[in-house]
Chain A
Amino acid sequence: MSEANVGGASLTLDHGAGVMEERPFAIPSKKLVMWLFIISDACTFGAMLFAYGYIKNAAADWPRPFENSSIMNALLMTFILVTSSLTILIATRAAKSGNKSKAIQWTLITVVLGLAFAALHLKEWMGLIGEGVRLFQNPWGAPMFGASFFAVTGLHLAHVVSGAIALSVVILGYKRGRYNADDLEIWGLYWHFVDLVWMFVVPMVYLMNVKAG
């Protein structure tokens, strides 16, 4: 790649790509697209959590159904998700250094951790459903509890599952030579974002609704 100055503008002469201006943020377009998706998704989750807070605040008899076991389950889920962020970092680092087998191995560990998180999440859901929680009714109080709880945690769960699928597709493509380390790094960004959102879901949805006594 060589630099040129045409009419005062800094231009990059990319091999085989003609004359182009430099990238404004010095990152590839696909990485910028992922960042833009992440900030729009952050606003979506923000809106969901604000809506949850709005409904909870407006309901005098908001249920507090979570016992200590649920909180420990949420803490275990946090541990799994944060650990999966570390494993995808290891995978990305391995891919960047050209260690293909290590990158594949650690990405698959990340996917397994994501699926373990999803399984624990579903176990929590089944427990609540078993206690009688439905979308618009529950045994304890404000009927909107179920809808708001399942909406927030369900949106997050959908992100985890789709992230696990996306990472599996990318790592299979990486193995076959269709994708490269950059693609793995870009989907790693998404995975970290899913981890980041969970840090706000836990206090708002779980820790503020712990059973008294």
Chain B
Amino acid sequence: MDSNQGSMKTDLIVYAAILILACVQVFGLRGDLFAMLVVAAIQAFLAVMFFMHLRDEKPTLRLALIPATLFVLVMMNMIWADSYRLIHLKPFAK
């Protein structure tokens, strides 16, 4: 396998960044779901690109993996309309 493994210094910086972001989630953004999910997405991006070395792979691999996954996850958002239709997990009375 010939992927570039990056440097230990980069790994340590990414490690520290992910932990700092986790602390920001817990101490600074608790209760704000959107902000916490944005921070989680940044943490995930750092993990995928640096820890999993996707940034060192061919662009075709990134193109094959990322858009397909994001498409499925974005399409799952269609459930929210139905979720708001319910109260106590039962539909509103007509």
Q: Give residues in A with beta carbon < 8 Å to B.
A: 24-28, 31-32, 35, 39, 42-43, 46-47, 50, 53-55, 57-61, 71, 74-75, 78-79, 82-83, 85-86, 89-90, 92-93, 96, 142, 144, 181-182, 185, 189, 192-193, 195-196, 199-200, 202-204, 207-208, 210
Contact = CB atoms under 8 A, between A and B. Distances in A.
Interface string B1-37: 1110100100110010011001101100111010011
B73 to A, nearest CB: 5
Given A25-B61, A89-B51, A58 B12 contact: no
Q: Helix, strand, loop or mixed for chain B's interface?
A: helix
A199 B8 contact: no
B83 A75 contact: no
Contact of A196 (B47, B61, B73, B83): B47
B25 A53 contact: no
A24 B19 contact: no
B2 to A, nearest CB: 8
Contacts of B93: none
Nearest to A144: B89
Interface residues of B, number: 49
Contact of B60 (A24, A43, A54, A55): A24
Contacts of A39: 65, 68-69
B83 A46 contact: no
Contacts of A75: 22-23, 26
Contacts of B87: 58, 60
A78 B19 CA distance: 8
A71 B29 CA distance: 13
Residue from A39, A74, A204 with most neighbouring chain B CB atoms (10 Å): A39
B5 A199 contact: no
